[in-house]
Amino acid sequence: MKSALVYRISSILLLLFAPGHTIGFRKIDSRWGVDALVASMRSAHFMAHGFSRSYWDFYTGFGFFVTVFLVFAAARSWQLGRFPAHTLAEMQVI
Domains in the chain: boundaries: 3-90
Please state the rounded mean pLDDT for residues 55-76.
96
Provide the pLDDT confidence category of residue 11 given band limits of 50, 70 and 90. very high
Contact 28, 34 (CB under 8 A): yes
Measured between alpha carbons, how far is 87 from 10 in angstroms, rounded to an integer?
A: 19
pLDDT at 65 over 80: yes
Whether the per-residue pLDDT at 45 is higher than 90: the answer is yes
Contact 81, 11 (CB under 8 A): yes
Model confidence at 91: pLDDT above 90: no
Find all residues with CB under 8 Å of 34, minimum gap 6, and list them. Answer: 28
| Chain-centroid distance, C-alpha 55 | 19
3-class secondary structure, 47: strand
pLDDT at residue 94, as a whole number: 65
Q: Average of pLDDT values for 73-91?
A: 87
